[in-house]
Structure 1
Amino acid sequence: MRHRRWTPALLLSFALIAPALADSDHDRARRALDAGQVLPLPAILTRVAQDYPGKVLEVELEDEDMRWIYEIKLVQPDGRLLKLEVDAADARILKVRGKRHERSHR
């Protein structure tokens, strides 16, 4: 019975901590953009559209191994879903994944 008293306290702690962690990621990404370590999203999407036209469905900016990476999901005009990894510093396409399409540029 003792663990039942702790459950609400633990849930409340997680509820309070989770938003702080999310803000931390956002703040880090904003600082990287302000410092010029990351290109703005419109510049990245312009570069991507040159080789991979389509409708963008989702974009994430992540710090992977001390390197900022944009992960972009898009649907091409022929209906193919592609997942791209783009170097956020220089808009270089690093990896392309999708049905009938797999290419790494690293």
Structure 2
Amino acid sequence: MLKVQQFILVSTLILMPMASIAESDHERARKAVQSGQILPLQEILQKVSKDHPGQVLEVELDQEKGGWVYEIKQLTSSGSIVKLEVDAKTGQVLKQKTKKN
């Protein structure tokens, strides 16, 4: 029983900082949307889907030197994986990489 309690305690101590990091990332993104620094993800996806249709697999929001960038990974109808870097303020596609199957 003591080993189980020790395991729970150690797990909690390890995972708590990770939860606060994720929460702070979410909070930074929310504040960036509210302050007008970036467009909401839904709006970005609507803009991108016009010229780059596909099923969204993954989205990341990064703050880089030039500003905020959404990194979007999509699966196209042909089975290719497309990675897009999108200016989070304007919705303009900055870079595109395609991995064909």
Q: TM-score range by the shorter chain?
A: 0.7 to 0.9
How far does residue 13 in structure 1 lie from its aligned partner after superposition? 4.1
TM-score after normalising by structure 1: 0.76
1:54 — aligned with what? 54
How far does residue 66 in structure 1 lie from its aligned partner after superposition? 5.5
How far does residue 34 in structure 1 lie from its aligned partner after superposition? 0.5
Q: Percent identity?
A: 45
2: CA distance, partners of 1:74 / 1:47: 14
TM-score after normalising by structure 2: 0.79
In the alignment, structure 1 residue 33 sits paired with structure 2 residue 24: no
Which secondary structure does the structure 2 equivalent of 1:45 belong to? helix
User: How large is the RMSD of aligned CA atoms in angstroms?
Assistant: 2.0
2:86 — aligned with what? 86
Residue by residue over 1:4-56, the C-alpha shift from the partner in whole angstroms, topping out at 9 and shown as x without a partner, is xxxxx886543222211111111000000000111011211121112111111
Residue by residue over 1:46-83, the C-alpha shift from the partner in whole angstroms, topping out at 9 and shown as x without a partner, is 21112111111111112123621111111112111101
Give the number of equivalent residue pairs. Answer: 93
Which secondary structure does the structure 2 equivalent of 1:78 belong to? coil
1:95 — aligned with what? 95
How far does residue 99 in structure 1 lie from its aligned partner after superposition? 2.1
1:20 — aligned with what? 20
Q: What amino acid is aligned across from residue 79 of structure 2 in structure 1? A: G
* Unmatched runs of 5 consecutive residues or more in structure 1: 1-8, 101-106
1: CA distance, partners of 2:59 / 2:50: 17
In the alignment, structure 1 residue 63 sits paired with structure 2 residue 63: yes
